Amino acid sequence: MRNIKLLLSYDGSRYAGWQRQKNAPTIQQTIEEKLAAMTGSRVVLHGAGRTDAGVHALGMVANFHTASRLPVTAFFGGLNHLLPPDIRILEASEVAADFHSRYGALGKTYCYHLFTGTVLPPVRRHYCAHIRTLFDIEPVRICLETILGTHDFSSFETAGSRDRGREGGRGGVRTIYRATCRQTLEDAWLFSFTGDGFLRHMVRCLVGTLVKVGGGNISPEEFTAILAAGDRSRAAFTAPACGLFLERVYYDHRPSPVGR
């Protein structure tokens, strides 16, 4: 059996997330169907993460095993020919038999696009969350420095995120190497989070709470207490899915920590 690694990008707007479901279209199912058509047999595609409905990817990594003798180039050009235009294969390569896109990942980077103005340009509605609010970046940056390092992020986790059979019993503990926020346009903000792993909805819960910090509803001191509490009810809302992008998955090395 050959092990094929794919680097792919997708617009998650019309999909019910990555993971296959019985009654809704998903990224995994869509690609698996095209691979089955190409190889003549059922294919199970393993993704580096399980992005939720409406979440996008710039650099998702996936792998599958196959006995097909098709050249690797077929899994690039052939798949792109068969797939809908909102899913694209960026690279295809043959890798070692023990490579696993999820369990071999050493880190990931997610970015989140936020617009806080009055009117969001409609062409951005699927790729940027619109939350009308005042937004002061300075207290937000203080909070971003607070989450750097290793912490229990249970306050920013929704149920069902932990694979207890493979996580080594670390619970809600994750390490954040980089966390930044910068203004890109008037009333437009870009968050970026790099860590060794993320709990379910963790980035979106963090952003929702940081929006409250930027609006003056939560102080940096209160944010620190929320982080320490390990209680989801203490944090703020879960930010909309449309602003979230899986940007990169790391395998060869852990991301190096840097400041803001």
Exposed/middle/buried for 21, CB within 10 Å: 0-12, 13-18, 19+?
middle
Give the number of other Cβ atoms within 10 Å of residue 167's Cβ. 13
Helical pair 137-146 and 202-214, crossing angle rounded to 10 deg:
140
Q: Cβ-count burial of 256 within 10 angstroms (0-12 exposed, 13-18 middle, 19+ buried)?
A: exposed
Question: What is the set of active-site residues?
Answer: 52
